[in-house]
Amino acid sequence: MRLTTKGRFAVTALLDIAIRHGSGPVSLADISQRQKISLSYLEQLFSKLRQRKLVDSVRGPGGGYCLAKGLDEVSVADIILAVDEPIDSTQCGGKENCLGDSKCMTHDLWAKLNEIIFDYLSHVTLKRLVDEQSQRELQREQAVVKLYDMREAAF
């Protein structure tokens, strides 16, 4: 599977919004700054995400984007497909014409891999990614506190 920056950036941007879920709209300028993604590129991606009803836009001061669905209702596969990113490892794009008018010997192998990847990405939700990110943050904070405590105990 070839996942281009389009799919990666779309997932990253929606995860950025998901982490701030419930705190109001998130501006693309803020996402661009935090995630180091071009603002014009985000505008293109969010046009598609809005068309696919994964995000809602809020105009005016304090405006931006928010999720149109619950964190547990949006999968990574939904996001990738919304930005027209194919989840396909086959050489022929799934058309079974790898060798002109017939499929190649390994077509079924790559087609099965596509199914496995799609199934996996369909089960990874924004909620799961937010929970994992929160857990990593908590572990980092605990490590800092532990280092601080060890340093204080040494003096």
- Whether 94 maps to a domain, the answer reads no
CB 60 within 8 A of CB 27: no
- Whether 18 maps to a domain, the answer reads yes
pLDDT at residue 2 in the model = 65
Number of domains in the chain: 1
pLDDT at residue 141 in the model = 81
pLDDT at residue 103 in the model = 84
pLDDT in tens, 119-137: 999 999 999 999 999 898 8
Q: What's the rounded Cα separation, in Å, for the pair 48 and 79?
A: 10
- Whether 14 maps to a domain, the answer reads yes
Degrees to nearest 5, angle at CA 28 with 22 and 29: 115
- Whether 113 maps to a domain, the answer reads no
- Whether 56 maps to a domain, the answer reads yes
- Whether 106 maps to a domain, the answer reads no
- Whether 97 maps to a domain, the answer reads no
* CA nearest neighbour of 17 among 50, 5, 6: 50
Weakly modelled stretches of the chain, pLDDT under 70: 1-2, 155
Q: Establish how many alpha carbons lie within 13 A of residue 146's alpha carbon, considering only the half-sphere containing its beta carbon.
A: 6
Query: Residue 45: which domain range?
Result: 5-86+125-154
Find the CATH number of the domain harbouring 25: 1.10.10.10
- Whether 54 maps to a domain, the answer reads yes
Q: What's the rounded Cα separation, in Å, for the pair 69 and 74?
A: 7
